[in-house]
Structure 1
Amino acid sequence: GFVYAVTTADLYIRGGLANRVLVIGSETFSRILDWSDRSTCVLFGDGAGAMVLEAGEGAGSIADHGVLAASLRSDGAHKDKLFVDGGPSTTGTVGHLRMEGREVFKHAVGMITDVIEATFSAAGITAEDLDWFVPHQANKRIIDASAKKLGIAEQKVVVTVDLHGNTSAASVPLALSVAVADGRIKKGDLVLIEAMGGGFTWGAVLVRW
């Protein structure tokens, strides 16, 4: 959700429909978790984060600040692997998060690396050019496997899933906030954000901070 929203906001600005956009990622998973399902209820958390995008002058080069490249993907064939069933229910039997964890993991690394490589190609860079990789904070094993496959050094990967669990659309802005606050991400840094969610939907955005 957050990566899609950042891309949409960037397109609004580039199209002259907006000058400044507040992008918010917010989740209250506690409302939709099935607390009898230990395979999901222990993994997710509530959270919210935001980013402001603003129009600015640039030379149209990789040195510009802001969004430099983005790639988005979706494939409804995997809709039953990660979704929320039904809707509001007085019985509490529907409207819960459902996930086939092993199936999600099986697809995640390949999908993530594919969309990131497409983003690198669009920007004309390689993994070595990155200052920071800020992935969706869903699963440490997926983060580590994706970074390894892409050749991104471990010290360039921002990991905060241990602090708040999987907060879905909030996880990337939360991780960005932590890395900016502790001084890791600085003005001028080349930052890649990435996320994958239900459906499946997934995407990546390259940003000059």
Structure 2
Amino acid sequence: MTTSAPRHTRIAGTGSLLPSRRLSNADLAAQLAERGIETSDEWIVERTGIRARHFVDDGVFASDLAVGAARHAIEAAGCAPSDIDLIICATSTPDMVFPSTACIVQHKLGIAGCPAFDVQAVCSGFVYALTVADAMIKAGTARRALVIGAEVFSRLLDFNDRTTCVLFGDGAGAVVLEASDTPGILATDLHADGRHVPILCVPGHVKNGQILGDPLLKMDGQAVFKLAVGVLEQAARAVLEKAGRTEADIDWLIPHQANIRIMQGTARKLKLPADKVVVTVHEHGNTSAASIPLALDHAVRAGQVRRGDTLMLEGVGGGFTWGAVLLDY
């Protein structure tokens, strides 16, 4: 810990982890056909851009994926787990009601003592968690933070509903943030509007040892689409204004990987060419809070994103929540 606030927060390392079980659209279509549900690779790709996703096996939890991603990020940052003094995990699919998945991750990493907690903002969760960690580092309450997005959405899916079950996958992504004299996170912008809860939710809960309501994902796809493109543009422009930058300064747009049409629509509004958008949705599906750090780590390790690049991260999800982060990598 430090008693004086550092000037900047920068990403020191990235990491990710996908379950080994990969399901192509054809694989999933075959499984759905056994239930009498009809779909196809063409139908899914045309509407979403998704070609495959990864699902966990029985006995694998969000914390397991989170730990794998965290270890990769810590290694990339050139530090040790014991150097971490803050853990924030963004997830909508925690291992249990409580304690937090972050505390479970902390234990599995073999460390103790530092603050550890979850952030629940669904698909915007990583942007929310990054913003909180940035504020805590700049306030001087942490020097090196582990920020994770980890999800096992396969356990929330209604496999009798082809409009939703084809969209989501499991995975985790992580970053290590550290206090720095070098500019990193330049501006953040977060929002929520609870009036839109019904358009994307899992309306179940636990009472007296029983699940009440419906514990499976419900989504009004058209309503989500209409809201998403507009609010993502607003958040992107807000962080650009706060940072004194313009669209021309963006080297890479790394959006929440939900639907290729939403991603392309946002890029067009920001006047960004398609080759400046990091896209992993075709291979991962929608991994909710994990999607942005997964895409970021993929782009870093593929050599797309390099030190000095300016990145726009943005997400939108159930709540209805949305937000953006502008940073120099």
Quick one: distance in 2 between partners of 1:141 and 1:205? Answer: 21
Find the counterpart in structure 1 of residue 262 from structure 2: 142
Q: How does 1:32-47 map to 2 (within 5 A)?
A: 32-47=156-171
Relative contact order higher in (CA < 8 Å, ≥ 6 apart): 1
* Higher-Rg member (1/2): 2
Quick one: distance in 1 between partners of 2:266 and 2:311? Answer: 16
Quick one: distance in 1 between partners of 2:248 and 2:212? Answer: 49
Structure 1 residues 26, 181: CA separation in 2 closer, same or farther (over 3 Å shift)? same
How many residues get paired? 203
Find the counterpart in structure 1 of residue 193 from structure 2: 75
Find the counterpart in structure 2 of residue 188 from structure 1: 308
Find the counterpart in structure 2 of residue 173 from structure 1: 293
Q: Does residue 1:94 correspond to 2:214, yes or no?
A: yes
Other structure's SS at 1:79 match: helix
Find the counterpart in structure 1 of residue 29 from structure 2: none
Query: Post-superposition shift, 1:72?
Result: 0.5
Query: Post-superposition shift, 1:87?
Result: 2.2
Pairing partner for 2:137 from 3, 6, 13: 13
Quick one: distance in 1 between partners of 2:233 and 2:145? Answer: 28
Query: Post-superposition shift, 1:90?
Result: 6.1
TM-score of the aligned structures, taking structure 2 as reference length = 0.60
Structure 1 residues 92, 46: CA separation in 2 closer, same or farther (over 3 Å shift)? farther
Q: For the Cα contact (< 8 Å) 2:148–2:175, is it kept in 1?
A: yes
> What per-residue deviation string (whole Å, max 9, x for no partner) do you get for residues 19-50 of structure 1?
00000000101111111111100000011110
TM-score of the aligned structures, taking structure 1 as reference length = 0.94
Quick one: distance in 2 between partners of 1:113 and 1:4? Answer: 17
Quick one: distance in 2 between partners of 1:91 and 1:36? Answer: 19
Query: Post-superposition shift, 1:128?
Result: 0.8
Query: Post-superposition shift, 1:153?
Result: 1.8
